[in-house]
């Protein structure tokens, strides 16, 4: 069997590393003691989700560890689960948990991007959910202060209309990082890595609220671990390649004007605008091309069904092809 956290070979459930990462080393079953929400139980489930703003169709529920079991909770949640959404307007929604898990694992294992600890987990009826550990909860209770980039930019539906989280650019996020984060060189490079990651893995939903700063114990802001990464094009084939522009007027740049999509020059211009040293930017960029085979291998190892592995792979290869041109 494969570990439901990292795909490593394991006898059953989660490997030791994943148990340490997710459950303080405890042996937790990969099967939850209850069924997913359905039309009858949805209302009850919703009482465990009041703390979250529900973004789009993906419902999120709060869990905590009680003895050796994960249980739904209204307060003191340590984990979030996202079951298969009940909505119908998107494609292949039943594979969202496997998709998000795979994309987060590629970020973590192939590109060494700090991400929220995560795994797959299953309801009693066998249907999958994506499980993630909250990084804003302190180990002994209490919370680290977290602010997303819509808040940091002062954007809300009141100030920028209903699509406020899609207004602005990744360069704007970089400039806010420079303003708020003492260790901004590391943080802007991580942002740059994530922007390219989202592009090559076809995550078109990396909007302002999907990036956050979090205060550490010294009270200093740093970029939070990455979260909500998935190959969104599988579910929403007509969407644009990126949720935000790379930088202002980027569509007038020579490469984009010619081809109608971003290429190497566009990303390097973003790096320049957020003061990343050109040599570092080039190195970050090149790893996406040099680690191509590692990504392909991980897609193959994932829990996606074959049909979706093929779609995932094709989108990845298309985007890598664009970067190489
Ligand atoms: Zn594992």
Give 67-100 pLDDT, tens digit per residue: 899 999 988 899 999 999 887 778 999 999 999 9
Interatomic CA distance for residues 169 and 161, integer angstroms: 16
Q: 143 CA to middle of ligand 1, Å? A: 26
Q: What is the pLDDT of residue 58?
A: 74
**pLDDT, tens digit, for every residue of 107-150?**
999 999 999 999 999 999 999 999 999 999 988 878 999 999 99
Q: 165 CA to middle of ligand 1, Å? A: 34
Q: What is the pLDDT of residue 49?
A: 64
Instruction: Say whether 307 sits in a helix, a strand or coil.
Output: helix
Q: 7 CA to middle of ligand 1, Å? A: 6
- What is the bridge-based pairing of β-strands 128-133 and 79-83? antiparallel
Q: 257 CA to middle of ligand 1, Å? A: 44
pTM of the predicted protein model: 0.95
Q: 310 CA to middle of ligand 1, Å? A: 24
What is the spatial order of strands in the sheet that 221-223 belongs to? 146-148, 212-215, 221-223
Interatomic CA distance for residues 171 and 270, integer angstroms: 6
Q: 60 CA to middle of ligand 1, Å? A: 23
Please answer whether residues 323 and 200 qualify as being in contact, where contact means their C-beta atoms are separated by less than 8 angstroms: yes
**Ranges of the chain with pLDDT below 50:** 50-54
Q: 118 CA to middle of ligand 1, Å? A: 10
Q: 16 CA to middle of ligand 1, Å? A: 7
Q: Which of 197, 165, 28, 75 is nearest to 62 (CA)?
A: 75
Q: What is the pLDDT of residue 51?
A: 42
Taken as a whole, the chain contains a residue count of: 325
Q: What is the pLDDT of residue 53?
A: 36
Q: What is the pLDDT of residue 210?
A: 95
Q: 2 CA to middle of ligand 1, Å? A: 8
Q: 32 CA to middle of ligand 1, Å? A: 18
Q: 14 CA to middle of ligand 1, Å? A: 5
Q: 12 CA to middle of ligand 1, Å? A: 10
Domains of the chain: 16-133 (no CATH), 146-324 (1.10.1070.20)
Q: What is the pLDDT of residue 125?
A: 96
Q: 114 CA to middle of ligand 1, Å? A: 16
């Amino acid at each position: 069997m494969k570990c439901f956290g990292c795909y490593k070979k394991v006898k059953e459930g989660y490997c030791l590393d994943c148990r340490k990462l997710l459950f303080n080393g405890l042996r937790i079953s990969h099967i939850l003691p209850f069924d997913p929400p359905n039309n009858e139980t949805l209302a009850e489930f919703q009482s465990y989700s009041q703390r979250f703003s529900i973004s789009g169709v993906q419902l999120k529920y709060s869990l905590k560890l009680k003895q050796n079991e994960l249980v739904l909770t209204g307060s003191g949640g340590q984990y979030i689960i996202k079951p298969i959404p009940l909505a119908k307007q998107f494609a292949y929604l039943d594979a969202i948990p496997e998709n998000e898990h795979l994309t987060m694992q590629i970020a973590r294992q192939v590109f060494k991007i700090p991400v929220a600890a995560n795994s797959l987990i299953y309801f009693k009826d066998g249907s999958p959910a994506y499980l993630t550990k909250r990084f804003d909860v302190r180990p002994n209770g209490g919370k680290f202060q977290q602010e997303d980039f819509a808040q940091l930019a002062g954007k809300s539906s009141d100030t920028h209309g209903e699509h406020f989280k899609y207004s602005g650019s990744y360069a704007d996020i970089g400039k806010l990082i420079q303003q708020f984060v003492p260790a901004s060189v590391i943080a802007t490079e991580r942002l740059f890595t994530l922007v390219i990651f989202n592009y090559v893995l076809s995550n078109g939903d990396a909007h302002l609220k999907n990036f956050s700063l979090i205060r550490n114990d010294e009270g200093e802001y740093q970029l939070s671990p990455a979260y909500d990464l998935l190959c969104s094009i599988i579910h929403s084939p007509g969407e644009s390649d990126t949720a935000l522009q790379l930088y202002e007027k980027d569509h007038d740049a020579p490469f984009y004007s010619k081809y109608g999509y971003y290429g190497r020059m566009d990303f390097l211009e973003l790096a320049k605008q957020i003061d990343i040293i050109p040599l570092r930017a080039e190195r970050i960029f090149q790893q996406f091309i040099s680690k191509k085979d590692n990504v392909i291998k991980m897609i193959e190892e994932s829990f996606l069904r074959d049909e979706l592995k093929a779609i995932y792979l094709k989108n990845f290869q298309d985007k890598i092809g664009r970067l190489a041109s």
